Amino acid sequence: MNTTGHQTDKTDRIDKTNAILVAITDLFFYTKVRDALRQPEYQLEKARAQQDILGKAVSISPGAIILNMNDLTLDAFQALETLQADPRVKAIPTLAFANHEEVETWNRAKALGVTKIVSRNEFSSRTRELVEEIINGHVIAP
């Protein structure tokens, strides 16, 4: 029984293993992501500079990319433009979050091909569920 359970767990891990590219420099939100995706099926890769986003997306082929549209260090709009222009990474689902009052930010992110954008509060409270939703292709429109 224990062996069978172990084999099932191993198979589940293989099926669910996903590298997640996290383009967030804000320590509060990065910690939320790290804590929510702490399970062994996720491996976080942090983009620390603008040029890291495309480079790491190409090299690790992540299951998803997370962007903070209000990041003061990384330009999420530029990242979306760059990712959408590169056929090697264009299909990678992106989860973005932004201040709920910034309607223009939301509209621009959607126009640039973000898979799902949510408020900062929703992102903080449902990080894992949102990531799994976009990875599994079950995106529910906001």
Evaluate whether residue 101 is within a structural domain: yes
Whether residue 6 is contained in a domain is answered as no
DSSP string, 19-41: EEEEE---HHHHHHHHHHT-STT
CATH number at residue 94: 3.40.50.2300
Task: Tell me the whole-structure pTM to 2 decimals.
Answer: 0.83
Residue 84, domain extent: 17-135
Helices (H), the chain: 2-16, 27-36, 50-60, 76-85, 103-111, 120-135
Cα 21 to Cα 44, 65, 69, 88: the distances in Å are 6, 5, 15, 15
What pLDDT, in 10s, does the model give residues 29-82?
A: 999 999 999 878 899 999 999 999 999 999 999 999 999 999 999 999 999 999
For residue 29, is it within any domain? yes
User: Mind listing the pLDDT tens digit for each residue in 111-137?
Assistant: 999 999 999 999 999 999 999 999 998
Mean pLDDT of 102-116: 95
Using alpha carbons, list the distances in angstroms from residue 87 to 11, 29, 90, 92, 137. Answer: 30, 29, 5, 10, 19
